Structure 1
């Protein structure tokens, strides 16, 4: 299901030029289709985690999966931009709830010794969704229009819903998450700083990533077929980065976070200085591999730093990451409209670099 979440959330990234033209808005405004679900998910994650109380997590996850499929269907049929935004708002509610409660399910379905591998497989869906969403969106948008791409996402969501209904066992909640639980988590300095560091990476990444398609078209001067190929390479590199970092999570997660952020920032920043196609391709692959590691590192960090209430830690991680995702996409839209995509990339890289100062500055506080 993590694959479907990412496919649905980031499908517009490959379709911004087509959507903006069809719905008569500029590219920066079309970027709100990434901003809105991010903000909705940020709010929904803690609220739905608390509201679900002691409900069987299987029932909650099935309802959220159905909501995601419905949102993609509405997006495909949207007659104008406001309806499209409403569809993306519904998606955000489903994404926030599903990530907050579903990300930790893998640990409960396997023996403890295989918990890290299960988490890696779940977050691999993020990279797999990235592998599919951008090139699929670019290809189908080119051949059959952006609405068809959303219909395919909706169908994929329905298939995932059917699979979950068949395969997912009853999942009793590990404990009710209350506002006091979230407050206690936020008052844990290492956890709060880890959330801030992860959020800063998301902000910088999505300041640039949301506008990667117009960058490749306008700055790197790549045609539709080349854009699709490069985006496919980005996703595959992300998948490789996820599995590689899954093998290293028993080491210092703070050190891994810094290394990954430096690689990501360097790749994005260097993209502003070149139009040479071979160099652009290599840098995009580096970027994909680096960000492919970010979600798993973030998840592993917060669960280790607040093991008493992992649902609360994950809810706060979703809120932090989705909030900064939305803010980054919004900032990137303003920069793209007024200064061009290279400005969005440069400021995005700077934000990611700044994130490295946070874990480096809490070396004594966060020992895990």
Structure 2
């Protein structure tokens, strides 16, 4: 029962992390155009990609001993990035800072959530990993739909805030889920 709860928590976190990513990322172009940065979309996304690589490296280096801390940090950085983007207005510096934090938070996120789900599932890790694919794809589809509806009905300024609200739910789940896949990996050695 506890293992199933851990897998459910992991799947909830995947939805609450990747849904905001997929609300924000596909509609980042219109967001940049509103900020007067339409000609910099490629540069900003390049910066996002570079910082995501740094995030991957950090997670790969630290995940064995700091899974819970890294998950909390990833969600918190993404929330901070959402707030910065929400308040940025037309400030290119603020937008770049938000993008850097978002990239750092996003880079290793898949590894973090897959590791937590596998740990929670134990011997059922293969089944948990297949469920991740379903939730991940649902987050992609739902994010596109929700982001499009937000853009059409409320405009670009609400998109980072919608992402931030969902991330708050993810942060609260991890804060209370200290035993469900978010424990320190035992050291064999």
- What TM-score do the two structures reach when normalised by structure 2? 0.88
Equivalences for 1:1-368 in 2 at 5 Å? Answer: 188-218=4-34, 220-224=35-39, 226-274=40-88, 275-366=90-181, 368=183
The alignment partner of 2:109 has SS state of: helix
Is there any run of 5+ residues in structure 1 with no aligned partner, and where?
Answer: 1-183
1:237 Cα deviation from its structure 2 partner: 0.7
Change (3 A) 1:205 1:223: closer
Bigger radius of gyration, 1 or 2?
1
Give 1:280 deviation, angstroms. 1.1
- 1:247 is paired with a residue of what secondary structure? helix
Deviation of 1:187 (Å): 6.7
Contact 1:203–1:327 (Cα < 8 Å) also in 2 = yes
CA drift of 1:367 comes to 5.7
Residues 1:365 and 1:315: Cα distance change in structure 2 (over 3 Å): closer
Post-superposition CA distance 1:66-110 (Å, at most 9, x none): xxxxxxxxxxxxxxxxxxxxxxxxxxxxxxxxxxxxxxxxxxxxx
Unaligned ranges ≥5, structure 2: 184-189
Q: Is the 8 A contact 2:84 2:94 kept in 1?
A: no
The higher relative CO (CA closer than 8 Å, separation ≥ 6) is in 2
Aligned-pair RMSD on alpha carbons?
A: 1.9
Note the C-alpha offset of 1:304.
1.8
Taking the aligned partners of 2:49 and 2:181, their CA distance within structure 1 comes to 32
1:194 deviates by 1.4
Q: Deviations over 1:156-203 (max 9, x none)?
A: xxxxxxxxxxxxxxxxxxxxxxxxxxxx9x971111111111210111
* SS state at 1:261 partner: helix
SS, match of residue 122 in structure 2: coil
Aligned residue pair count:
182
